Structure 1
């Protein structure tokens, strides 16, 4: 019985070689991504994006995705300056602004009478 359980549990786990290969593939993809961004962005724009990534990594990743998609579609003809990056960030912020709504419900006491 234990052998059967060990066999089933072992099937879902990766071997160290598979994990290492997966990590290498991920690092290579990140390296290619950074190379592409360095070709598309000016140094000031890359620095700003790096600062954004320190504060909000998901947002920076989303901005990078937008920039890379635009570059792959041929929409970017020259390097993106810091000013263009700021305007792009503002556009993304206006599209993804979250509306917060606060509703206040007062508790009614058992002794309160609404029948008056």
Structure 2
């Protein structure tokens, strides 16, 4: 019952925003407003999906992460949405499960480090120039 009410409110708000965007867009160059109107439904759908995937504590933690590292929070959200779409999530993600996912993703980041091997012998040529 509560989900149906939320969906109705979201649809009404979306229609209201579309009406406002249409009125502003017809009055002049509203290219950026049109882009914002196109992004808004996608952001709403993403937010709705995350509300269905995450428990409130986990959503709160993800919000705090977003304040510090927005890209990392976006990566985690993408991973969660992908897992939900593929049917690998059977229940809402708890805060502990979110921590485990964050740690797993952090371990993957460490493996992607680049190692630079410098060739020996280059410094010898430069040292000869300094002895002039």
Q: Shorter-chain-normalised TM-score: which range?
A: 0.7 to 0.9
Question: Structure 2: which 5+ runs fail to align?
Answer: 1-27, 118-122
Larger Rg over CA atoms: 1
TM-score of the pair, normalised by structure 2: 0.64
Deviations 1:17-76 (A, max 9, x none): 332121011122111111110110001100110111111000100000000011011111
1:111 aligns with 2:95: no
Q: 2:42 aligns with which of 18, 26, 29?
A: 29
How many residues get paired? 98
Match of 1:46 in 2: 59
User: What is the alpha-carbon distance in structure 2 between the residues aligned to residue 23 and residue 100 of structure 1?
Assistant: 38
Cα shift at 1:100? 6.5
Cα shift at 1:16? 2.6
More helix by share: 2
TM-score of the pair, normalised by structure 1: 0.72
Moved more, 79-88 or 20-29: 20-29
User: What is the alpha-carbon distance in structure 2 between the residues aligned to residue 108 and residue 55 of structure 1?
Assistant: 45
1:87 aligns with 2:87: no
Structure 1 consecutive aligned stretches of length 4 or more whose deviation exceeds 3 Å: 98-103, 106-109
SS in 1 for 2:30: helix
Question: Structure 1: which 5+ runs fail to align?
Answer: 1-14
Match of 2:86 in 1: 73
RMSD of aligned Cα (Å): 2.3
